[in-house]
Every structure is written in C-alpha cells, then in structure tokens.
C-alpha cells in the first residue's frame, strides 16, 4: 500500500521529525490521500509537498506515524530490516559486553516500537507498535542469522509484549514463545555476578540491563562497606556490592517474588552469608531504620518510575524528595549515596533540583562523584526525548560542619 498513500503535514508542523525524531502526532496531519490499513507503511510529505520519509501509520494511536526511513526510494523489505538489525548488532559489539545486552532499543535504533534483549543465548522481544508487530517473526529470524554468523547460537525466543503501551496502539497484550519452548529461567553473568533471569514472569523483559555499568561503578565504593540497597528488584546492586567485598548488605523490595529471586541469586554467588534480602515498603522502612539509629557506608536508591506522564511530575517530585531525604539521613558522615530516576518525564533539571532540596532538608552536603546515564546499549537518540530516561548520581554525603 505504501506507494499509494501520502500523508501531508499541516504548515508549521512536523517539528519532532524535523529535529531528528521519528514521531508524527495525529494533530499534525492535514490530509491523507490513498487507501491504507492501520500498520501499513505510508509516505510523508511536508505541507508544500517536500518528501519527509516513510513510516507506519496507525489511526488508533496519538502517535499517528512512526518514521522508519527518510529515504523515499527505500523499500521496506527484508534487506531493509537486515540493514537496521546489522547496524544495531555491530553498534553493541563496539560499545558493550554483548553476553547479555539490549540489542534493539526502539527509536534509538531506528526501529520504532521494537525492543529486543539478549540474555546469554536467549532473546526476549517486545513489540509495542502495530507497524512493527506484523514483522516481528521475520525480524527475529534475521537477527538469529546475523548472530549465528558471529558464532552465537540463539536457543530460544520469548515474547514479552505485555506492556500497557500496546493498548494505546489498539492491540492486545501478548506473551509467549516465538518458536520452540525452552526453560524460561535463564542463567547469565554480568560484571562477574551470576543471576537467574526469569524472562517469563520477571518485570519488563526479566532484568534491567540499563544499569549494568552503574552497578559496576558502585563496586569500588562498596569494599568493606555496610550497604543498603533500596528497591533491589532481583538483587543486582546488592550483589555487585557483595562481590566487590562489602562487609554486610541489606537489599529491600516490596515484591515477595523479587526478594525470593534475589535470595536465590545471592546463593548462586556464594554471598548468602553477607548479602541478605527482606520484603518491605521502602518508604516505611527508612524512617524506621533512622529511628533505630542505623547508619550505612553506602545507600543505593533505585526506585521504579514514580511518574509515567507529564501530569504526575509534581507528585513524583515529592516522592523522589522524600526518598532522598530518608536515604541521605542513613548515610554515615563521609559515606556514599547512589540515587537515580528511570522516568524520562522526570528530566535532569527536575531530578537535580529535587536532590538539592533533599540535601538541604536533611542538613547534608553533597560532593558529586559522578553523574551517569543508561548503558550504551540503550543509546540516547538526540531529538527522541523518551530515549533519555535514566539519571544516576553518585555522591559522597558529608554532615554540615
């Protein structure tokens, strides 16, 4: 259908794609000529007929078109997908340890709506846009061929298209095997730490790869330390602290399942005597620890996104402020705090402001060790704001003298 359908933008619209992004919203379109089905690839022209590129259209979504290419003569066929996936894989080989990594990160790899994570010899696929959904099995086959050429045999693929975003595209949530079944508890090693990743029932795709090098950055600060890891999920920061030689580590999460998996992961690494996990609401636990006079050499705050929309940013700021005040009060004088936000709506300026407010409220002074973002296998595409979401600070916390 792509040859027959032309979408023309209103005058002065298309700001996102003109600045390098990939989205065209429903209110930016002046007219559509030709027939199409949702999910088809269409041509996009500016108001004056200037060709802007091709992308898939979906009238169920506010993001009406997601651009695939700026080349009007580019056919969207198997060669195109192979080129995009090869580029994504070659980039990972240059920038990260590929034993477990994100191989495709949606818009940032010019494959809007597609996420593919590799956990050792298993792929986990998440399809979040109708346009890419119809190609997902082809894409998986091509990616397996690309990896096979590098001597990497993928033994199984699991689909985790069970995110709410699919509902906005008019699709149902889906999860299950693509191809033959396999054991969905997958062993991986990251930064020298062993984990069992539950690709079927773990959060999102089973494990958060975006913090890989932030976890590594914490290792040197945790030697001989007493460490508190809040919102530990399956124990990753706590286990990095343990493997680096921490004296005593407490990891806390509100999910019983996560705590059970974290405890299993500690045993897997022979750290069960020094790294322990408990199920608590962190907001309730921290004031309790403070009232008991507890102090830690290192406190790590890795909360879930407190905001998933622009409207709730103010409320989220209260949550981040509160958790950081509590966390800072538990760091002994001269100890270290790692604190982060994984919501792209909570931008760098707001997050930084909130931490400053928390420090003043807690009567602590912060010496910044470093500021980090997500690992390079989650590249930040300038002009695609949602691809920049993780803000990660490491501070030394000193009492006001």
For the chain, the first-to-last Cα distance in angstroms comes to 70
Return d(Cα 258, Cα 108) in angstroms, integer.
Answer: 29
Known catalytic residues are 342
* Distant-in-sequence, close-in-space partners of 293: CB < 8 Å, separation ≥ 6: none
For 256-308, give the DSSP string: HHHHHHHHHHHHHTT-TTTEEEEE--HHHHHHHHHHTT--EEEEEE-PPPS-S
Backbone angles phi, psi at 244, to 5 degrees: -85, -5
3-state secondary structure of 157: strand
- Torsion of Cα atoms, 323 then 324 then 330 then 331, to 10°: 150
Backbone angles phi, psi at 192, to 5 degrees: 80, 0
* CB contact at 8 A, 233 and 315: no
Per-residue burial over 186-224, b = 16 or more CB atoms within 10 Å of its CB, e = otherwise: bebebbebbbbbbbbebeebbbbbbbbbbbbbbbebbee
- Tokens 């000529």 belong to 33
């Amino acid at each position: 259908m792509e040859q027959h359908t032309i979408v023309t933008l209103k005058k002065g619209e298309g700001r996102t794609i003109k600045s390098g992004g990939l989205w065209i919203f429903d209110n930016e379109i002046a007219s559509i000529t030709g027939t199409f089905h949702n999910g088809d690839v269409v041509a996009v022209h500016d108001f004056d007929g200037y060709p802007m590129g091709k992308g898939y259209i979906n009238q169920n979504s506010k993001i009406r078109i997601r651009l695939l290419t700026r080349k009007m003569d580019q056919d969207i066929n198997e060669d195109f997908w192979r080129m995009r996936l090869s580029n994504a894989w070659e980039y990972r080989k240059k920038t990260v340890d590929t034993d477990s990594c994100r191989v495709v990160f949606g818009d940032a790899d010019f494959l809007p709506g597609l996420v593919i994570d590799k956990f050792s010899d298993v792929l986990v696929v998440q399809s979040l846009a109708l346009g890419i959904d119809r190609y997902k099995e082809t894409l998986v086959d091509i990616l397996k061929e690309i990896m096979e050429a590098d001597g990497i045999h993928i033994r199984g693929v699991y689909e985790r298209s069970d995110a709410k975003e699919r509902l906005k595209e008019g699709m149902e949530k889906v999860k299950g095997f693509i191809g033959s079944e396999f054991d969905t508890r997958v062993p991986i090693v990251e930064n020298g730490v062993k984990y069992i990743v539950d690709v079927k029932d773990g959060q999102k795709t089973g494990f958060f790869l975006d913090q890989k090098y932030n976890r590594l950055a914490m290792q040197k600060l945790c030697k001989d330390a007493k460490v508190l890891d809040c919102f530990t999920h399956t124990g990753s920061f706590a286990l990095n602290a343990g493997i680096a030689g921490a004296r005593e580590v407490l990891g806390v999460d509100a999910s019983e399942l996560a705590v059970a998996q974290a405890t299993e992961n500690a045993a897997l690494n022979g750290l069960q005597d020094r790294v322990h996990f408990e199920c608590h609401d962190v907001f309730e636990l921290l004031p309790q620890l403070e009232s008991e006079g507890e102090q830690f050499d290192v406190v790590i705050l890795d909360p879930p996104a407190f905001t998933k929309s622009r409207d709730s940013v103010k409320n989220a700021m209260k949550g981040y402020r509160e958790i950081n005040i509590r966390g800072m009060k538990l760091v002994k004088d001269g100890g270290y705090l790692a604190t982060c936000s994984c919501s792209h709506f909570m931008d760098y300026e707001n997050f930084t402001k909130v931490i400053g407010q928390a420090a003043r409220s807690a009567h602590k002074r912060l010496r910044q060790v470093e500021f980090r973002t997500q690992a390079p296998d989650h590249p930040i595409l300038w002009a695609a704001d949602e691809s920049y979401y993780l803000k990660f600070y490491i501070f030394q916390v000193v009492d006001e003298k």
